[in-house]
Structure 1
Amino acid sequence: MTPLSHRALRALERFNAAHPWDHNAHFHRWILRRLPRRCAAALDVGSGSGDLARLLATRADAVHGVDADPTITARARELTPPGAPVTFATEDALTGLPDRTYDVVTCVAVVHHLPFGEALTVFRRHLAPDGTLVLVGLCRPTTPVDHLLAAASSPLNAAIGWLKNGGRTAPAPVSMTARTRPAEMSFPDVVRAARAVLPGVRLRRRLFWRYTLVWRNA
């Protein structure tokens, strides 16, 4: 990388930091479009501040969100209107899920923190017959397609951040304040591991450094 391109990258990073927006929330409406219009119960793994769990309540009679961080779980409860059919618990995503099944299981930008194959096995075990699993994940860019999508995402990320914040600087949303770490698996690794656990699973690379996974327990 040349000094000029390095300076440009640093300037872009500073701009993005001053105009943040929630990449995960960008996929929430997309997730809803993959789900049945009504269902009895939904589980959101890694629920964070509860934005997706509250949105799932427009489709499900009851929604349960779990997150390993007690502080963000408490914040999710504070942000949830009284009487909403949504509960939150501080639990481990692999060992602390309730002993029951759900019509919908969602997981956004969390599974790269977990043993991938084991996490998918747990999610499958908690999915009711005909239930739907929808996952938005992060992977390590390794292929030309990955790098092309990353290159396209960078200017779009800056433009959307500027538009969403009305051209003004802003603090990061609550949902973006949780600690995270880089993804280690490549997309081809994700595909191979997912197909081993979820026959017929559909995966696709996305903009904004994400991929999506959809599987129906048919």
Structure 2
Amino acid sequence: MTTMGERTLTAINRFNAAHPWDHNAHYHGWILRQLPKRFDSSLDVGCGTGDLARRLTSRADVVRGIDADPQIVARARELTSPAAPVTFTVADASTTLPSGPYDVITCVAALHHLPFVETLTRFRAHLAPGGTLVVVGLTQDSTRTEHLLGVVSIPANLAMGWVKHRGRAGTKPVAMSARARPAQMHFPDVLREARQVLPGARLHRRLFWRYTLVWRKNQAGQR
């Protein structure tokens, strides 16, 4: 006999399967609001099928998207107009990044797959003076606040799925995010280590099991 909690979780999973939506794309508009109106170059790390990279072309002269999965990079290229100022490359961000510097670096739901401190240090080095780094990441819940946000995210998740699928029964979104590997770091650790590498970085816990990080490099090109 299943408990009430197990039955509730099963019902939620069934609803999500019937009404999937992209939790990462939910933050794309927020990401754009953190960026200048215009900038020269942008790098999207863990670009997936390229949704954010294509949106960045409305602000940037040149956009590069990288992902470690050759198949998903191929899909990103298929979905992108040849005239768009964006290129997609297979690259492992845990070891290297395409030569910069970049005015903007974005990384959505990919940092937990990479060595945390080393990757942030690499982002800092590849960011141009005055440039902006924006991360939407995942952590493992540990604090009371995180668990509360997780609880609040459940009805919010159901509501978003219902709204996005209203009138589109039986259809699925073009892209659906999936947590290929669970996050291992807790948010207090992310906060502490990020601020050691990126002094003054702004980090916040968010709905839908995400956190955000925004850091702007000073004009002197701080190291």
TM bin (shorter chain): over 0.9
Partner residue, 1:13? 13
C-alpha contact (below 8 Å) 1:20/1:170 kept by paired residues: no
Q: How does 1:1-218 map to 2 (within 5 A)?
A: 3-166=3-166, 168-171=169-172, 173-176=174-177, 180-218=180-218
User: Residue type of the partner of 2:99?
Assistant: D
Deviations 1:124-145 (A, max 9, x none): 1110000000000000000110
SS at match of 1:95: coil
d(CA) in 2 for partners of 1:170, 1:206 = 27
User: Residue type of the partner of 2:175?
Assistant: V
Deviations 1:21-77 (A, max 9, x none): 000000001000000000000000000000000000000000000000000000000
SS at match of 2:122: helix
Higher mean displacement: 9-18 or 68-77? 9-18
Give the structure-1-normalised TM-score: 0.95
d(CA) in 2 for partners of 1:47, 1:73 = 8
C-alpha contact (below 8 Å) 1:42/1:103 kept by paired residues: yes
CA RMSD of aligned residues (A): 1.3
Count of aligned pairs between the two proteins: 216
d(CA) in 2 for partners of 1:94, 1:122 = 9
Ranges in structure 2 where 5+ consecutive residues have no aligned partner: 219-223
Percent identity over paired residues: 62
Give the structure-2-normalised TM-score: 0.93
User: Residue type of the partner of 1:216?
Assistant: R
Q: CA deviation at 1:208?
A: 0.4
SS at match of 2:89: strand
Q: CA deviation at 1:5?
A: 1.8
SS at match of 1:20: coil
Cα 1:195/1:100, change in 2 over 3 Å: same
Give 4+ residue runs of structure 1 displaced > 3 Å after superposition: 169-173
Q: CA deviation at 1:10?
A: 1.0
